[in-house]
Amino acid sequence: MQVKLVNENSLIIYFAESVSIETADFINYVYHRLNEDLGDVIENIIPSYTSILLSCHSRKIGLQAFLRLVNSALNNLHSSQIDDFKPEQIELPVYYGEEVALDHEDISQHTGIPFSEIIKLHTGEYYRVFAIGFAPGFAFLGNVPTQIAMPRKKSPRTNVPKGSVAIADRQTAVYPNQSPGGWQIIGRTPINLLDITTKNLSKFSMGDQVKFKAIDKQTFLAMGGVL
């Protein structure tokens, strides 16, 4: 671990040089511990693949004192506690019908795999929430099987429909709201991912494990899905 100052009230903790499940587990643990230990002086906390960016309330604490608090919190970590922060497992229903899988032809062509098989591969594993960003509730999930990895579109769509499930390289994600976006769209979930009236706000939290489950059109519509 390496702690570096960033600006007048921010610092960043680096945990590793490359992305791995072990690092993600550890970051998830540290993220929860820092929130618990230093919650009242933390202004914002941004966990990501290999780092956590922290800013403090500069009216409550100076940068040097904040750095000392963070260092002492980091010195009090116990790897045995990592298991106390076991990630939540979430199953998300997805309709993979051709009318919502806007890029099903492209991805089949690119990978040489029939779309029905792509669905099987996509729903076959648990994906880890490595980071949340780009838009509120937009979780970067990984890693999809190499056979169905596909680069982003050359020219992004101006309007990706809300709930769209998509792939970019070995990552997959769900668009919580209608927005521009360049990922390859393979389905749509009827589930609302962002609800500002709930405590967690977002369906996904850092470290969660997400599995997609294929549903048919009727179920999609019955669950409130919009075509």
Partner 1 sequence: MTLRIKQAGALSLIQDLGRFGYQDVGVTVGGPMDNHAFYWANRLLDNPPNASQIEITMGPFAAVFEKSTTFSLCGAEVVAKLNTRIISNWHSCVAESGDVLSLSFPKKGLRTYLAIAGGFDVPKMLGSTSTVVRDQFGGMTQQGDKLRDGDTLPYQPNVSLFCRGALKQFIPDYAETIRIGVLPTYQFDQFDEKAINTFLNEIYTVTPLIDRMGYRLEGATIDFPDQNFISEGIAPGSIQIPANGQPIVLMRDRQSIGGYPKIGCVCNRDLNLLAQATPGTKIQFFLQDLFEAEAELQQEQHYFYRV
State yes or no: residue 225 binds partner 1 (CB under 8 A): no
- Applying CB under 8 A, among 18, 79, 159, 218 the residue interacting with partner 1 is 18
Per-residue interface string for the shown chain with partner 1, residues 99-138, x marking contact by CB under 8 A: --------------------------------xxxxxxxx
Tokens standing for residue 43: 């202004």
Q: How far is the CB of 98 from partner 1 (least distance, A)?
A: 29
Write the DSSP string, 28-87: HHHHHHHHHHHTTTEEEEEE-SSEEEEEE-TTT--HHHHHHHHHHHHHT--GGGGGGGPP
Residue closer to partner 1, measured from CB, 44 or 89: 44
118 touches 148 (CB < 8 A): yes
Residues belonging to the chain: 227
Per-residue interface string for the shown chain with partner 1, residues 38-57, x marking contact by CB under 8 A: -----xxxxxxxxxxx-x--
- H or E element, residue 135: none
Find how far residue 46's CA is from the centre of its chain.
12
Q: How far is the CB of 3 from partner 1 (least distance, A)?
A: 12
Is the Cα dihedral 143, 146, 151, 152 positive or negative?
negative
- Applying CB under 8 A, among 75, 80, 159, 200 the residue interacting with partner 1 is 200
Residue closer to partner 1, measured from CB, 7 or 79: 7
* Interface ranges with partner 1 (CB under 8 A): 4-10, 12, 18-19, 31, 43-53, 55, 58-59, 62-64, 131-138, 140, 177, 179, 196, 200-202, 205-206
